Chain A
């Protein structure tokens, strides 16, 4: 079955450390997204990519970086510049059919220790 795989499910980061969250999809979707979810807030867009080798900053891109070398993969790196990285991170992809919403991965919960 097609879907989005995020790994790991739980991740712990030390202060000053960079970590990379994996996102892989086999839905053949062109567009992929990274969102951050915090308690009491709506999903906030970090980065998105409409096609391979191209990506755009979202609303809260500072302290994050991404790459899109393959259609199936859109990893997110949380750098040491991100001062408050503890959150639930969701990767999503979207069909060109505008009647379909996002398909989300199962999420990665990142905690700074």
Chain B
């Protein structure tokens, strides 16, 4: 079956670097997404990886290893506003001939002053 795992909670200090891991087991893998979700709000798109390697976008970077079924989101120079949940999602090509998505439960990041 399809499965995604990510840690439930993490804590880090303002100004530090934090890495949020995501492991997945899917067949028909077709891309991995990271979203940020502040409490009570909608998720917002952060990054997309479909090939192995690192994608960098300002303070945020995302890495993918398809052979290991592994991704991480790296947040640098942490700010208080980065306190949020971070959702990992995988798109896969289903046997029915359509693309489908599976979401992890999210990692709640708390940034401390």
Contact = CB atoms under 8 A, between A and B. Distances in A.
Interface of A: 35, 40-45, 88, 90, 98-107, 109
Contacts of B48: 99-101
A104 B44 contact: yes
Q: How large is the interface on B (under 10, 10 to 19, 20 to 34, 35 or more residues)?
A: 20 to 34
B106 A103 contact: no
Nearest to B99: A98
B42 A41 contact: no
A42 B4 contact: yes
A103 B45 contact: yes
Contact of B105 (A42, A45, A100, A104): A42
Given A90-B42, A107-B41, A101 B33 contact: yes
Question: Which secondary structure characterizes the binding site on chain B?
Answer: strand
Given A90-B42, A102-B33, 6 more contacts: A41-B105, A43-B87, A44-B103, A102-B35, A102-B101, A103-B45
A107 B44 CA distance: 12
Nearest to B44: A104
A98 B105 contact: no
Contacts of A106: 41-42
B26 to A, nearest CB: 13
Interface in B20-77: 30-31, 33, 35, 40-45, 48, 50
A42 B42 contact: no
B84 interface: no
Given A42-B4, A43-B87, A101 B45 contact: yes
